[in-house]
Amino acid sequence: MYKLLIKYTKDGWWAAILGPLFVILEVVFDTIIPYLMSLIIDTGITQRGGDIDYIVRVGGMMVVCAILAGITGALSGVFASIASCRFIRNVRTAIMEKIQTYDFRNIEKFPVPTIVMRTTTDMRMLRMAYVSIVRMLVRTPLNIIMSAYMAIKLNKSLAAIFVVVIPVLGTGLALMIILSRPRFIAMMHRFDDLNGQLKENIEDIRVVKSFVREEHEKEKFSLVSWMVTKAQRYAETMVIYDDAFFQFVMYACMIAVCWIGGNHIITGSMTSGAFMSFLAYLKAILMSLMGVSMGIMQVVMANASVSRANEVLSEIPDIDDSNADPELQVENGNIEFRNVSFKYSKHAEKNTLSDININIRSGEVIGILGPTGGGKSTFAQLIDRLYEISEGEILVGGHNIKEYKLHNLREAVSMVLQKNTLFSGTIEENMKWGNPEATHEEAVEACRIAQADDFIMSFPKQYESELGQGGSNVSGGQKQRLCIARALLKKPKIIILDDSTSAVDTDTDHRIQLALKEKLGNMTTIIIAQRVSSVKEANRIIIMNEGKIEDIGSHDELLERNTVYRDLYETQMKGVQE
Amino acid sequence: MAYREIRTTRANNVWGTVKRTFSYIGEHNKWKMIIAIICIILSSLTGVASSYFFTPIINNYIVPYIGEANPDLTGFVWMLVFMGSIYLGGVICTTVYKKLISIISTGMLYDLRKDLFNKMQDLPLSFFDRKPHGQIMAYYTNDIDTMRPMVADAFPTLVNAMTTVIGCFAMMTYLSWKLMLLVLISVGIMVWFTSSVAKSSNKYFALLQKQVSNINGYVEEMFSGQKVIKVFNHEEETLAGFKKYNDELYINSVRTNLVSSMLFPVNANLAYFAYAVVAVAGAKFLIEGNITLGALTSFLLYVRQFTGPVSQLSQQFNGVMMSLAGAERVFGLMDMDPEINEGKVTLCNVLEDKEELIETQNKTHRWAWKMPDRNLVELKGDVRLKDVTFAYNEKKTVLKDVSLYAKPGQKIAFVGSTGAGKTTITNLLNRFYDINEGTITFDGIEIKDIRKEDLRKSIGMVLQDTNLFSGTVMENIRYGRLDATDEECKKAAELCNASSFIERLPEGYNTVLSANGSNLSQGQRQLLNIARCAVADPPVMVLDEATSSIDTHTEKLIEKGMDELMKGRTTFVIAHRLSTVRNANAIIVLEHGEIVERGDHDDLIANKGRYYQLYTGKAELD
């Protein structure tokens, strides 16, 4: 928490300093007031026998102090809110910045809603904790020190009470934190269980309803919900006892002060004015200590938010291009895999890809077929260095991909992902993702190749049509063609189409491939597909299965020698030729 | 950009909502609440009394003895003992009420969650389809939790503040009514300041909520497409867009917090201001003999004391407002209309005895519809749609005048492009949605006359979204029929060829699936879905893209099992892969909500119509 705090206060440091500074002034003025009170009673009334002028003068000072304390207090509030808002703004930006450096493996780790939560709800918690911490670090100790100093000044032997009380309260507080922390953490876990089950129920509501399992689900939910309630009660018990303990100590102090102070007054070693002020300081100290326990609770609760933020911030991308040569550009579309093996996690038993060797020449069209989970997409994503390979090396344009800056590599290797996304905005805006400097003509040209221009022109607003979040305003096949056009606009050396024409009819699919060949003959094209018809005309077709290249060859070669391919071809084509 | 609906932050019907929230304290906790209130009052009164004790202590036990060599302090000691016992009582009361409030408020949340969830299970599917899932989750993760402070914090503070303020003012008036008037003036200033601050922060508050939801929407959209962002080197732009929203939010949240952050210090020091004024005036009274030293001491303590709970209360203002808004959303959901379920016809197992159907509790693999007049109609699986028209909303008709039939045991396939209405038809069969016009009959009985639970039990659904539950593989299969034995579950898994991969899992059937089965491949999850339906053994089945992620090779392997499963059952199949639908008794080609072709595979290929185009890939299908 504190590390985060210091790191992200950076540009708000002036507010972060001014805030506590005004707090110091406020506390000083606040502390003077009870002392002035004792002057009124002891000097004004008792010693000078009712000197009204003196009393009014001192009273005036009290009023001035109160006003000054009010102003400085308000200012400290202003600066605290500026500092705290800046702080969370910076953390939020840092999270978003960090996410942008993630590789695919990192991205897969975090479900979307948790990221959303981290940038909103968690940040609110963090802001509150920030304010509490600043307050706790500055106001409380200062308040205690100042009040204790004044109390000692008023009567040393009476102030000895603090020597007993403060360690007792401190121990109580420490004990409470130590004991209740694990309970609160357990409570958070129960909340996670509840949310998990809830999410499942909402997502699977069709299953629930079609199997008529509403009652079953109600029972399940009632159980996890009760676990939350139990955990909540268990966690809060400590806090309640701690509160009671505090109150008990406070009252015990009052009685002790009355007794000792009373005796002092009777023997004449303390004035009654001093006694009154002493009571005020005693209360100030006890209240500050009570505030500490509340502040600590807030920090404990914010801890979960902090660790969630840290989880995102401390995630280390595997892929590092800091040693790459920024000048190095991809010259051509040659691709070479040398003994490449890959697994998604270090702990995984099985390689997702093992011992891949292949040489693809610039301008070649390569088709990849194979069962789901066979490693097709992984193979393609490695070319763009979206994951880091475990063994071997991959060369693009004659250089190891690790020698390129990621930016340069990805500019040259354009990828249409299987699960592709369009963003809210117009078609034209989405196209420009590929190349922000592209002209309208270039965008149209890319759309023509991807066979998207026709349907775009049929929309009333054409290239200015709004796509909606996730491209919800166009059909699946149209979306895929827009995604291809967007990727083409980059003018890449290599394009990878990962199952990106599955919703496009074969004729259009065929036309896309013809256009690609005709207009962009030098570009290496890798097509991953389910349909044999999508890859039939490729120079070579790779059959991938269980992470290995099973066979490579042209359509005719494979048809002759590869039974899997022949099977696939026949099932898909049967009926047409009949 | 049209992001999620902006959640209102202000309640409309304040009193109604407060009353309903408090009604959730419940009958069984009523006495706990009454005891809690009494304890809060007693504990506040202890606080009030503690300040008063200084009057007798100073006046009666200290001042008279000043300077005495051997003062008789027994009275003083007894006074302190008396004080101590009152204090102890106060501490006990505080502990009791805090514990009680903790029990009551957590119990209230439990009841609320339970009621809300129970209610939600009975809502029609349209609710789940229309509302983003994140928003439904927010009812539980946000709204219900915001309701707690109203009962757990604001209410005790209110009781405490009222008791303290009344107690303090009563004591102040008793000690010196003239000084009390001085205090009233500064209270007036405090109230004025607080209310004007609250007013100005309200304005920014609504804007703040809107900006937070903007950020929410942006992060959601961008992170959903994070992989695409990577591939297109679009990180800088994404960040720039984010910073724009973030800066807007920052500026406004500073403004919002600015006013409220001034509230506390200003009010606290206004109390000091009053303290100073009273001190001067009190000193004057003391000289004139209008007040005793003890009374002045107590009075000054009261000046500081009564403002404490009041400023606590003002700090809780925003919290209560959020509570109310949350409560209103929660109650809004609770007041929604549940699914209509007016049918009276039920489903039962039957056996045939001397050509007569007899109802039985045993599993006989034969079913019958039990009419309201107790007549039994055998369930054969004859499903007919007649002139069915349906629209999800008034704007767009999804199905127009659709008529079709499935004779008992037939396999009917639907093909057509996205949005043609295939899935919609299956949603109408089990009444996930209700038709607008026309009739759907099941063995001659209109489906709206059948009790929904029984209708749905009779139709087994295997859906495209491979939704599994956390739990073991076995538990997931058993979800189809809760009383199925392990053997029956295993048999179902074998039938659809899922057993081979299940047995290869580390713990076999006892392997625990993480959230939504993410440790399985899409195809494996679909196999489990099929097994779950097989164990339910329904008379009618709907397979909506049930094998879309199973590769052609595996699909071939399970073909036999699927045929076995479909044998004797009326089955509706929706498939993307035309090889799956080839052997259907009838294939129905839908386009824009209308049936454009029907017939078996050979007929339709011979027709060279839409199906032929689809099959040969000449038309777009997805």
CATH number of residue A506's parent domain? 3.40.50.300
Residues of A in contact with B516 (CB under 8 A): 200, 203
Cβ contact (<8 Å) for B453 and A212? yes
Strand order across the beta sheet in which A399-400 lies: A353-360, A335-342, A391-396, A399-400
- B41 Cβ neighbours under 8 A, 6+ residues apart: B159, B163
On whether both A255 and A361 belong to a single domain, the answer is no
Asked if the C-beta of B26 comes within 8 angstroms of chain A's C-beta atoms, the answer is: no
Per DSSP, chain B holds a count of helices (H) and strands (E) of 23, 16
Give B73 to chain A, closest Cα distance, Å: 9
Asked if the C-beta of B447 comes within 8 angstroms of chain A's C-beta atoms, the answer is: no
- B485 Cβ neighbours under 8 A, 6+ residues apart: none
On whether both A278 and A424 belong to a single domain, the answer is no
Q: Which of residues 523-582 of B touch A (CB under 8 A)?
A: 523, 532, 536, 549-554, 556, 578-579, 582
On whether both A281 and A408 belong to a single domain, the answer is no
Residues of B in contact with A204 (CB under 8 A): 467-469
Give B153 to chain A, closest Cα distance, Å: 13
- Closest residue by Cα to residue B498 from B404, B583, B562: B562
Q: Which of A257, A280, A313 is the last residue of a domain?
A: A313
Question: Residue B42: enclosing H or E segment and its boundaries?
Answer: helix B30-52
pLDDT for res B8: 45
- A462 Cβ neighbours under 8 A, 6+ residues apart: A427, A456
Residue B7 within a domain = no
On whether both A512 and A557 belong to a single domain, the answer is yes
On whether both A341 and A421 belong to a single domain, the answer is yes
On whether both B438 and B577 belong to a single domain, the answer is yes
Asked if the C-beta of B501 comes within 8 angstroms of chain A's C-beta atoms, the answer is: no
Give the CA distances from residue B1 to residues A121, B5, B217, B221, in Å, rounded to whole numbers and listed in that order. Answer: 22, 11, 9, 11
Cβ contact (<8 Å) for A262 and B619? no
On whether both B302 and B351 belong to a single domain, the answer is no
- CA atoms in the 13 A half-sphere facing the CB of A496: 27
Residue A490 within a domain = yes
On whether both B371 and B387 belong to a single domain, the answer is no
Residues of A in contact with B300 (CB under 8 A): 37, 276, 280
Asked if the C-beta of B209 comes within 8 angstroms of chain A's C-beta atoms, the answer is: no
Asked if the C-beta of B418 comes within 8 angstroms of chain A's C-beta atoms, the answer is: yes
Nearest CA in chain B to A369: B551
Continuous H helices in A314-424: 376-383, 406-412
Residue B4 within a domain = no
**For the segment A99-114, what is each residue's pLDDT rounded down to a tens digit?**
887 877 777 777 666 7
Residue B211 within a domain = yes
Give B401 to chain A, closest Cα distance, Å: 24
Beta pairing, strands A335-342 & B594-599: unpaired
Residues of B in contact with A103 (CB under 8 A): 230
pTM above 0.80, yes or no: no
Helix axes of A272-313 and A140-154: crossing angle, nearest 10 degrees: 160
The answer to whether B268 touches B311, Cβ cutoff 8 Å, is yes
Task: Determine phi and psi for A562, rounding to 5 degrees.
Answer: -105, 115
Of A196, A241, A410, the CB nearest to B231: A410
Residue A321 within a domain = no
- Closest residue by Cα to residue A338 from A354, A357, A361: A357
CA A545 to chain centre: 37
On whether both B285 and B358 belong to a single domain, the answer is no
pLDDT for res A299: 74
On whether both B363 and B408 belong to a single domain, the answer is no
Give B53 to chain A, closest Cα distance, Å: 10
On whether both B304 and B416 belong to a single domain, the answer is no
Residue A368 within a domain = yes
Nearest CA in chain B to A80: B261
On whether both A299 and A339 belong to a single domain, the answer is no
Domain range for B159 is 14-334
**Count: domains in chain B:** 3
Residue A324 within a domain = no
CA distance B35 to B190: 33
On whether both B325 and B369 belong to a single domain, the answer is no
CA distance A54 to B46: 36
- Give me the residues paired with residue B369 across strands: B347, B377
On whether both A441 and A309 belong to a single domain, the answer is no
Cβ contact (<8 Å) for B276 and A65? yes
Asked if the C-beta of B4 comes within 8 angstroms of chain A's C-beta atoms, the answer is: no
CA distance B380 to B378: 6
On whether both B397 and B354 belong to a single domain, the answer is no
Q: Which of B129, B232, B530 to mutate to test the interface with A (most CBs of A within 10 A)?
A: B232
Asked if the C-beta of B182 comes within 8 angstroms of chain A's C-beta atoms, the answer is: no
Q: Which residues of A81-120 are buried (b: 16+ CB within 10 A; e: fewer)?
A: bbbbbbbbbbbbbbbbebbbebbbbbbeebebbebbbbbb
- B136 Cβ neighbours under 8 A, 6+ residues apart: A202, B120, B128
Local confidence pLDDT in tens for the 578 residues of chain A: 666 667 777 777 787 788 888 888 888 888 888 888 888 878 877 777 777 788 888 888 888 888 888 888 888 888 888 888 888 888 888 888 888 878 777 777 776 667 777 777 777 777 777 777 777 778 788 888 888 888 888 888 888 888 888 888 888 888 887 888 888 888 888 888 888 888 888 878 888 888 888 888 898 899 999 999 999 899 888 888 888 888 888 888 888 888 888 888 888 888 878 887 888 888 888 777 777 766 776 777 677 777 777 777 877 777 777 777 777 777 777 888 888 888 777 666 677 777 888 888 887 888 888 776 677 778 888 888 888 888 888 888 888 887 888 878 887 888 887 776 777 777 777 777 777 777 878 778 788 887 777 777 777 778 777 776 656 666 667 778 888 888 888 788 888 888 777 767 667 777 787 787 777 777 888 888 877 777 777 788 888 877 778 788 888 787 788 777 777 777 666 544 43
CA distance B551 to B125: 31
Cβ contact (<8 Å) for B87 and A113? no
Of B117, B215, B279, the CB nearest to A221: B117
pLDDT for res B6: 39
On whether both B452 and B357 belong to a single domain, the answer is no
- Closest residue by Cα to residue A112 from A387, A431, A469, A375: A469
pLDDT for res B337: 87
DSSP state of A135: I
Task: Determine phi and psi for B370, rounding to 5 degrees.
Answer: -100, 115
Residues of B in contact with A44 (CB under 8 A): 283
Of A63, A77, A208, the CB nearest to B277: A63
Q: Quick one: what percent of chain A has pLDDT higher than 90?
A: 2
On whether both B171 and B251 belong to a single domain, the answer is yes
Cβ contact (<8 Å) for A506 and B459? no
Cβ contact (<8 Å) for A229 and B419? no
Residue B60 within a domain = yes
Asked if the C-beta of B234 comes within 8 angstroms of chain A's C-beta atoms, the answer is: yes
Q: Which of A313, A344, A363 is the last residue of a domain?
A: A313
CA distance B310 to B323: 19
Which CATH number characterizes residue B104's domain? 1.20.1560.10
Of B243, B269, B276, the CB nearest to A93: B243
CA distance B410 to B407: 6
On whether both B296 and B397 belong to a single domain, the answer is no
**For the segment B555-570, what is each residue's pLDDT rounded down to a tens digit?**
777 777 778 788 888 8
Domain range for A199 is 2-313
- The residue type found at A94 is A
CA distance B550 to B579: 13
On whether both A409 and A296 belong to a single domain, the answer is no
Q: Which tokens in the block code for residue B309?
A: 């709970």
**Count: domains in chain A:** 2
How is B105-163 classified by DSSP, letter by letter? HHHHHHHHHHHHHHHHHTS-HHHHHHS-HHHHHHIIIIIHHHHHHIIIIIHHHHHHHHH
pLDDT for res A474: 67
The interface pTM score, or ipTM, of the predicted complex is 0.80
Asked if the C-beta of B485 comes within 8 angstroms of chain A's C-beta atoms, the answer is: no
Residues of B in contact with A265 (CB under 8 A): 62, 66
**For the segment B588-608, what is each residue's pLDDT rounded down to a tens digit?**
888 778 888 888 888 888 888
Nearest CA in chain A to B265: A73
Give A357 to chain B, closest Cα distance, Å: 24
pLDDT for res A533: 74
Asked if the C-beta of B376 comes within 8 angstroms of chain A's C-beta atoms, the answer is: no
CA B295 to chain centre: 55
Cβ contact (<8 Å) for B616 and A372? no
Tokens 């919800």 correspond to what residue? A472
Residues of A in contact with B461 (CB under 8 A): 206-207, 210-211
On whether both B194 and B296 belong to a single domain, the answer is yes
Give A162 to chain B, closest Cα distance, Å: 19
Cβ contact (<8 Å) for A386 and B479? no
Residue B577 within a domain = yes
Give A131 to chain B, closest Cα distance, Å: 10
Residue A466 within a domain = yes
Residue A577 within a domain = no
**Number of residue pairs across A and B with CB atoms under 8 Å?**
426
Residues of B in contact with A407 (CB under 8 A): 233
Q: Which tokens in the block code for residue A130?
A: 């920030």
Residues of A in contact with B521 (CB under 8 A): 372-373
Residue B598 within a domain = yes
Low-confidence ranges of chain B (pLDDT < 70): 1-12, 134, 201-202, 205-206, 310-311, 314-315, 318, 394-396, 417-419, 465-466, 514-519, 548-549, 551-553, 576-579, 616-622
Residue A91 within a domain = yes
Residue B605 within a domain = yes
- CA atoms in the 13 A half-sphere facing the CB of B421: 26
Nearest CA in chain B to A263: B62
Cβ contact (<8 Å) for A207 and B467? yes
On whether both A164 and A307 belong to a single domain, the answer is yes
Of A199, A233, A424, the CB nearest to B221: A424
Q: Which of B280, B415, B475 to mutate to test the interface with A (most CBs of A within 10 A)?
A: B280
On whether both A303 and A380 belong to a single domain, the answer is no
Residue A329 within a domain = no
On whether both A45 and A110 belong to a single domain, the answer is yes
Of A209, A237, A279, the CB nearest to B456: A209
Cβ contact (<8 Å) for B107 and A229? yes
Residue A306, classed as helix, strand or coil, is helix
Residue B340 within a domain = no
On whether both A88 and A212 belong to a single domain, the answer is yes
